[in-house]
Chain A
Amino acid sequence: MKYGILKRGAGILLSAVLILGSLAGCGKTDNGAVGNEGNSQTGEKVEEGGEQALGRFLEEDVTLPIVFSSIYDMRKLEDGTIRIIGKNADDGKETVWDSKDSGVNWEKAFDAPGELQDEENGYIDYAALSLDGQSVWVYNRIAEGGIKPILYLVSSEGSIGQIPFELPAAEQSGQGSAQSFSTNVSADEKEGEEGAGDNVMNRSDVKNLILDICFLGADQIMVTDMTDKIFQISISDGSVKQTYDFNGMEDTHQVFTAGKKMLVVTSTEVLVYDTETGEQQQAEEALQQSVAESGFFHAVDSMDAGESIYYLTGKGLFHYKFGGSVMEQLIDGSMNTLGSPAFYPGALTMIDEQNLLIAANDANSEVGDGMVLLRYTWSKDTPAKPDKELKVYSLYNNRELRQAVSSFQKDHPDVYVNYQVALSEENGTTVSDALKTLTTEIMAGKGPDLILLDGMPVNTYIEKGILKDMSPILADKSNYFENILTAYQDAQGQLCAIPARFMIPAAQGGSANYTPGEDFDTFTAKQGILANTDPEAIVERFWYSCGAAWQKEDKTLDAGKITEFLSKLKNAYGEYDSSAVDEEVYQSISQGGAVNELHKVSLSWGDFDLAFGRIKVSTGLFGRMDYGMMNSVNEKLGGGDYGLMPGQAKQVFVPAMILGISSKAAQPETAEEFAGYLLSSEAQKVSQFGGFPVEKEAFKSVLDGHEYADKERLVGVAGGGSDIDEILDYALIPTPEEEIQKLTNLAESLTTPALQDDVIKAAVVEQGTKVLKGELSPEEGTDAIMQKVNIYLAE
């Protein structure tokens, strides 16, 4: 008995030790978690209280006097004038503009002086403004022996003088040099602008360059160079007051000043320096945490000589008083353009506590190269949070939608669009789990109002009555590709799901290998025509062009058709040679996950392999035409062309960005309004790889390359594959009329929506891959597919 008690005691002790151990181990995280809980509770209370807090910053566009291709700096001067240094998009000349009335009217102050306009021997790289209207410009002179940056001081009235400062040569070409061209460009933007490398230069010419400048007070500037040094320089004599060395810091960093303070911001921390002593000040805990929570600072301004700062991140505008314990969020980015994915703020100017201006590069702007100026004004009568919350849900992130959210909110200050994406790279949620959660939420009446149905069982949802008829919002369908718009129309004419975009399963190849319009039998009879490709991607691509032909009247699948599909595809594929499939590419596919979902089956994925002869025919989903590139590939092939992907089904299109309104929506009217906006010409013109617009005007607009009119540029793109020397040259030119017509005709001819069913698709891709690899015979593959699919269809 005693022994028993002892043992029992040991058991209890053990669990106690476990608890204590975990307490000690997680003390810190626990605090955080408790803090979060606290927050969410107070948040709830505010909502429950019924009394809505009033006051919010409202956003409006400011009309700029000219179209700027970039804005170097913007400042509110001591006399209240707002001054901008920008580059005129029409003639490429830098000019300085003033506004005395906080941005309503603008007048030109002066053009950049002659020394700076010397385009023969160099170019302007940066410019920064001080509070008294003076500016410092970085002019990169191209001369024998490389590029040499020169600093010019331009007075408030436009007279110029050189600052006698020599940038020390870089001692060694540090590892940082490659990244140096894009210090204030986030990774997102690089991806979006891969074609814009118009001033490609030979790296060996570069000794050391200035990467950024900004004013410190009225008489000093901070100069960041390629070697990760920051020089604090007097503008009167060019003498170096302080040098800060960040060599070895792995993160990219950016420098801001506020009063006498210098802030060095990386994506993980903020370092604060006293510029008089050159010493680092004690870390500000609250500020650090802010970076951790809301990300990199895009722009900083101060109104009280550095006592406190205003700063912009992807999450909105924040205010922080040094030495304080909290930062205050003034603008919630999710309620306006600030949170938009293609929005890159460059300068922030606080006019006063209730008015501010933000200059930014908005990749989706209709204007020129996309520089926009936004004004935010405090409106004390507007509810702090818009009274209507429209919940929008999608499995995969949709950039077009995100963009539309910002524009829609701008026009509807009373609506807060809460866009939730279920799957992302970080969270390991599976589609199945996400759909289960979605189901419970819809049933509990807490579900989304508008659903992007991509990747969801659309037809099941329609059958079950989850989706509302949307036909009223589309009274006039004449401006649309009606064949596509009505893909989900039922017998009663109800439209419970509308594809706002579409993709075309297409193929591209030289005339010897591929004739546009050829059928599946002819195509697949050519043995090995699809060799050297990733088998998984091939099955997935042809699933789009064939799947629709398999469904029988009773919704079951025709096993014979699937066997035919697999055996013919196997013939076209030939022997599987694992060494030919670039392992690295394969890895990147499997790791990309949800985000790259469509990328790997896009037609342009095969551009380089096709152009350089590694594959004979490129196939994939065609949802964005890069005419120059496509033309270049076709020319390289000597008579290449594109057309519909051969398949068992004919004239197939893949619906994308499929809109549906929940029949249990809390805000059905707003959801309809937003859906209507998503189908409007304006929203449809935004195109970021998400498919062709169904609205014809927008379709033409995203195809025609109007942005390249009058300024022909030749661009070389290096292949992303194994061979770095492979370069395709192509011209950024407007698309010829006949090409637009050709694709328009093609789009109008499409009649069959691809079979949209992820369960069937997963089974087909899994087994089909094995067939192509030769592990299974087509018959075995079919059996395995049918076995799974039959259970699924029987449910």
Chain B
Amino acid sequence: MHGTVKKFAKWQGFLWILPSFLGVMVFYLLPYADVVRRSFLGAVDNRFVGLANYRTIMENPAFLLAVKNTLRFTALCIPLLILLALACAVILYRSKYGGFIKSAFLMPMALPAVSVALVWRLLFHSQGLLNHWLSQFKASEQDWMNTSSAFWILVISYIWKNLGYDIVLWMAGLAGISENIYEAAKVDGAGEWQCFWKITLPNLKPSLYTITVLSFLNSFKVFREAYLVAGDYPHESIYMMQHLFNNWFRSFSFDKMAAAAVTESILLLGLILLLQKAWDGGNEDGRKSI
């Protein structure tokens, strides 16, 4: 009797999560379980096929290409965005016009994807605005979305859209650093650079985790614009996992799709654990990411 009460008491905190967790169960975990189940079955006939689907996707060039592109994109974009945002945040922080410029950077984030797609189409069309400007400088024109430039357009549009938000996040981190530390350092004769290296950066480290996770999350959203501008089969350099999922979906390849989805979520899990570990390890004060 006493045991059960104790057992329950242990779970008391979970009551706060319960309503949310029930919904998550129904709308996310249940579908996810279904996906896992499907990854071991045939596409339409629901025959058990073991790991065959996993083997198929590992040999599937389209899957490998999509994985490669997605990794390449993330590996390039996220550090780039984070560093760029940090640089901007440091410059803008405590400056008079900082707020104004920050708002300007934030604006793209509020732009709906369809509107972005509209602008992109007009800019990067082979007869579009960008080529128009280039032609005035006698530069050679290109069909931007149909060459490997498409990848860089995607990178830029990702940074364009998310820079403002990341700046805001960094500035929040900067705001958290107590002025006293700086003053103490200055008294000790530290220069601006020294302050930055020795005080600012280490103190921003806790923010890095959140910023990385959020930037990572937003990197998936760039697919919307890519899809709206270039359709189901864009240039091979921007052919992402979501394109593949979409196309598999249309052709009833649920077997491959489920296997790829499970693979992707395992990768995600690994990535998050890695991030958490890096973060926890670097935090001497013992604060945990969770």
Contact = CB atoms under 8 A, between A and B. Distances in A.
A–B touching in complex (CB under 8 Å): yes
Interface string B231-247: 11101100100001011
B252 A460 contact: yes
Contacts of A663: 44
A465 B60 CA distance: 21
Nearest to B126: A775
Interface string A419-437: 0000000000000100110
Contact of B232 (A432, A465, A770, A794): A432
B10 interface: no
B58 interface: no
Given A432-B231, A791-B65, A795-B60, A439 B252 contact: yes
Contacts of A165: none
Contacts of B239: 791
The A interface, classified by DSSP as helix, strand, loop or mixed, is: helix
Contacts of A435: 250
A464 B233 contact: no
Contacts of B235: 787
Given A436-B246, A466-B44, A460 B251 contact: yes
A432 B252 CA distance: 13
B112 interface: no
Nearest to A433: B250
A465 B252 CA distance: 9
A794 B250 contact: no
A442 B43 CA distance: 13
A187 B232 CA distance: 36
A330 interface: no
Most chain-A Cβ atoms within 10 A of its Cβ — which of B62, B250, B251, B252? B250
A747 to B, nearest CB: 32
B54 interface: no
B250 A439 contact: yes
B249 A795 contact: no
Contact of A436 (B60, B62, B250, B253): B250
Interface string A424-468: 000000001001100100110000000000000100110011100
Given A759-B232, A788-B233, A791-B239, A464 B126 contact: no
Contact of B44 (A432, A465, A795): A465
Contacts of B189: none
A77 interface: no
Contacts of A443: 252, 254
B281 to A, nearest CB: 35
Nearest to B64: A794
Contact of A795 (B231, B248, B254): B248
Nearest to B252: A464
Interface string A773-795: 00100000000100110111011
A316 B260 CA distance: 50
Contact of B236 (A465, A770, A791): A791
Contacts of A460: 251-252
B114 to A, nearest CB: 11
A486 to B, nearest CB: 24
B244 A795 contact: yes
A436 B254 CA distance: 12
B207 interface: no
A464 B62 contact: no
A742 B13 CA distance: 85
B149 interface: no
Contacts of B244: 795
Nearest to B146: A784
A790 B143 CA distance: 20
A763 interface: yes
Q: How large is the interface on B (under 10, 10 to 19, 20 to 34, 35 or more residues)?
A: 20 to 34
Interface in B101-155: 126, 143, 146
B236 A787 contact: yes
B102 to A, nearest CB: 16
Given A435-B250, A460-B252, A784-B146, A792 B126 contact: no
Interface string A399-434: 000000000000000000000000000000000100
A795 B252 contact: no
Contacts of A791: 61-62, 65, 233, 236, 239
Nearest to A434: B250
Contacts of B143: 770
A465 B65 CA distance: 27
A759 B235 CA distance: 14
Contacts of A787: 235-236
Contacts of B249: 436, 439
Nearest to B61: A794
A464 B43 contact: yes
Interface string B218-229: 000000000000
Interface in B1-57: 43-45
A436 B257 CA distance: 14
Contacts of B231: 432
Interface string A725-764: 0000000000000000000000000000000000100110
A132 to B, nearest CB: 63
Contacts of B236: 787-788, 791
A432 B146 contact: no
Contact of B62 (A432, A439, A759, A795): A795
B48 to A, nearest CB: 16
Nearest to B232: A432
Contact of B253 (A432, A465, A795): A795
A63 B254 CA distance: 55
A784 B61 CA distance: 18
Nearest to A664: B44
A73 B232 CA distance: 55
Contacts of A763: 233
A465 B45 contact: yes
A578 B231 CA distance: 27
Nearest to A432: B232
A116 B84 CA distance: 90
B146 A795 contact: no
Contacts of A432: 231-232, 246, 250
Most chain-A Cβ atoms within 10 A of its Cβ — which of B45, B62, B248, B254? B62
Contacts of A464: 43-44, 251-253
Contacts of A788: 233, 236
Nearest to B42: A465
Contact of B247 (A465, A762, A795): A795
Contacts of B250: 432, 435-436, 439, 457
Contact of B233 (A466, A775, A792): A792
B252 A466 contact: yes
A198 B256 CA distance: 61
Contact of A461 (B45, B126, B146, B252): B252
Nearest to B237: A787
Interface in B161-212: none
A794 B44 contact: no
A493 B232 CA distance: 34
A102 B65 CA distance: 73
A9 B175 CA distance: 23
A474 B146 CA distance: 47
A663 B250 CA distance: 17
Most chain-B Cβ atoms within 10 A of its Cβ — which of A436, A465, A784, A788? A788
A691 to B, nearest CB: 26
Interface in A95-123: none
A791 B234 CA distance: 10
Nearest to B254: A443
What 3 A-B pairs are tightest by C-beta distance, nearest first? A794-B62, A794-B61, A464-B252
Given A443-B254, A792-B233, 8 more contacts: A439-B250, A457-B250, A770-B143, A790-B61, A791-B62, A791-B233, A792-B62, A794-B62
5 contacts: A432-B250, A436-B249, A442-B252, A466-B252, A787-B236
Interface of B: 43-45, 60-62, 65, 126, 143, 146, 231-233, 235-236, 239, 244, 246-254
Interface of A: 432, 435-436, 439, 442-443, 457, 460-461, 464-466, 663, 759, 762-763, 770, 775, 784, 787-788, 790-792, 794-795
